[in-house]
Amino acid sequence: MTQNVVSLVLSDAQVAAATTGLKQIESALPGLISLPAEDARGLVFMGERSGPFVRRTLRVVEEHPHVVPASLDIPAAQADLLAYDQLVPLLERLQYLTSRVQDTVNALGSDLMSTALDAYGHIKVSGNDHGLEDLRRQLGSRFRGTRTAAPAVQAEVAGAG
């Protein structure tokens, strides 16, 4: 029996509304950046445990600005902290939504593959009787090159070293 993890019907209006919503988010947050992986690797990240350290340190230097050089831009850091605090809840909601969309896409893809593999099995068994031999070969091309080498070839490769 073919699996059916999820059934979903989206109207054009729903897709359009979601697309509009995503565009609104993008336009509402024009300051967002995209870092190349190389640049991101060099960053020092502020995790959950570092948050209290950052907040307390900024509070201390705000109360005692004489302990840091004037070149250390504390107001800019405070503005960054405010933006950070504003973006994190948005990020969490977006990650939750992205996870649900990804799970749904994965489930739909799995349902589709299950149905296609089941149908392909039937085509292989009875397709030739219905003039579908060429179509069966075309469909079978999806599996070419996915099998492991024959044992004799594997033995030759192992003995070559």
Mean pLDDT of 136-151: 74
Q: How many H helices and E strands in the chain?
A: 6, 0
Assess whether pLDDT exceeds 70 at residue 109.
Answer: yes
Mean pLDDT of 121-144: 83
Confidence of residue 158 (pLDDT cuts 50, 70, 90): low
Q: How many Å apart are CA 55 and CA 48, to the nearest integer?
A: 12
Which one has a higher pLDDT value, 157 or 83? Answer: 83
- Total-model pTM: 0.76
End-to-end alpha-carbon separation of the chain, Å?
47
Q: Please report how many Cα atoms fall inside a 13 Å half-sphere around the Cα of residue 66, on the Cβ side.
A: 0
| Segment among 84-93, 106-115, 122-131 with least mean pLDDT | 122-131
- Report how far apart, in Å, the C-alpha atoms of 136 and of each of 71, 109, 148 are: 71, 21, 22
Domain positions in the chain are: 12-143
Assess whether pLDDT exceeds 70 at residue 108.
Answer: yes
